[in-house]
Amino acid sequence: MGSSESGGVLIAAEVGGNGALRPVSFELVTAGRRLADQLGATLSAVVMAPNASAVASELGATGVDRVLAVDDERLAGLPSEPAATALTAAIALTKPAVVLVPGTTAGRDYAPRVAARLGLGSAADCVDLQIEDGTLVAVRTVLGGRLQTRVELPAGSPRIATVRAGSFARAESGAAAVEAETLPVEFGPRDGRVTMRATAEKPSGPTNLEAAKVVVAGGRGLKEPEKFVVVEQLAAALGGAVGATRAVVDAGWRPHHEQIGQTGRTVSPRLYVAVGVSGAVQHNVGMQGSDLIVAINRDPDAPIFKIAQFGIVGDLFDVVPAVIAELEGTVG
């Protein structure tokens, strides 16, 4: 099969803010290799970054058959338009049956743009991929991870899938290195409309929340931002971290990195204490893996009590200070 008729798999490899290939790029090699083997075809990778050629060699030793590098300053941070133009050029050259894109913020933006430009079928946020009788079967999680769906994209034109980070093992280097080829891309005037001006480090808070053995989360039951201090005091008494519901984050009471749930962080501490939290499904998917859930809520019918092992029905402004006093009495 010549390069003009590959019918194989093309993966998009991304470079992070530190200038190195993102780990998900190596996970896509594993996913792509499996599909390419099932198709009996080749695996190509395209690196799209200002320093693409410099890092492409690392990918060339992971078992890919072909590595393309698109070096261009416009690709810093992968704004969707130049990234879509570069990926479209790689598709035109390699003529793949399947295109895999990292499910990063950037990938989720440029992949559907390429699908729309070329009129191709696509599946987003896939956690598993197989070829069955030529059909690409993509498994996606929905409803905050509670259900999985199968999306079938039949053979014909290339199919594009974004792949969630962490879904496949990382391909290790050690194979005979493939030399990267430079892919010249003609960018248009639209491709320079969005540029990356700077990057900023995330605050360290999120890491602490995910690693914490105890999390005390507060919700709208706190009534106002100043009263969140009772949540902070309980967290301090238990040696834990503070979390929040989306309702209070949206209200500007707490920073987004404390948000737990479908559109926030996923935590699974030894102890999770929900204070004035109703227990909406979108919140619960981010904490239901906790070992022990304790809820404090004045409404005995609050849904949080359905997933809590221990529940205290009462006014949090009475209950929490009493619990803190008890804890301090125990310690002191």
Ligand X SMILES: Cc1cc2nc3c(=O)[nH]c(=O)nc-3n(C[C@H](O)[C@H](O)[C@H](O)COP(=O)(O)OP(=O)(O)OC[C@H]3O[C@@H](n4cnc5c(N)ncnc54)[C@H](O)[C@@H]3O)c2cc1C
Binding site residues, ligand X, CB under 6 A? 219-221, 245-248, 259-264, 276-278, 280, 282-283, 286, 297-299, 302, 315-317
CB of 274 to ligand X, least distance (A): 8
Tokens 């005995």 belong to 300
Query: 70: helix, coil or strand?
Result: strand
Q: Which of 137, 96, 107 is nearest to 27 (CA)?
A: 107
Least distance (Å) from ligand X to the CB of residue 285? 8
Distance in Å, CB of 127 to ligand X, minimum:
19
Residue number, 12 or 267, with CB nearest to ligand X: 267
Whole-angstrom distance, CA of residue 120 vs CA of residue 166: 25
Helix, strand, or coil (residue 315):
coil
Shorter beta-carbon distance to ligand X: residue 55 or 316: 316
Q: Which is nearer to ligand X, 35 or 231 (CB)?
A: 231
**With respect to ligand X, which residue has the nearer C-beta, 85 or 297?**
297
Q: Which is nearer to ligand X, 32 or 261 (CB)?
A: 261
DSSP 162: E
- Smallest distance from ligand X to CB 105, Å: 17
Nearest one of 236, 255, 233 to 246, comparing CA atoms: 255
CA dihedral 143, 111, 179, 44 (to 10 degrees): 70
Q: Tell me the DSSP string of 124-156.
A: EEEEEEEEETTEEEEEEEEGGGTEEEEEEE-SS
Nearer to ligand X, 45 or 316 (CB): 316
Q: Which of 199, 185, 183, 197 is nearest to 82 (CA)?
A: 185
Q: Which is nearer to ligand X, 162 or 297 (CB)?
A: 297
294 and 317 Cβ atoms separated by less than 8 Å: no
Query: C-alpha distances in angstroms, 169 versus 34, 105, 158, 210?
Result: 12, 20, 24, 22
> Least separation, in Å, of the C-beta of 86 and ligand X?
32
In angstroms, what is the minimal distance from the CB of 6 to ligand X? Answer: 39
Shortest distance in whole angstroms from residue 313 CB to ligand X? 9
**Which residues, 6 or more positions from 301, have their beta carbon under 8 angstroms from its beta carbon?**
none
How does strand 147-153 pair with strand 135-142?
antiparallel
Which CB sits closer to ligand X, 196 or 280?
A: 280
Query: CA of 240: how far to CAs of 28, 236, 262, in Å?
Result: 36, 6, 21
CB 14 within 8 Å of CB 48: yes
- Of 53 and 282, CB closest to ligand X: 282
| Phi, then psi, of 248 in degrees rounded to 5 | -80, -25
Min dist. Cβ of residue 305 to ligand X (A):
10
Quote the least distance from Cβ 324 to ligand X, whole Å.
15
Helices (H) and strands (E) in the chain, counts: 10, 14
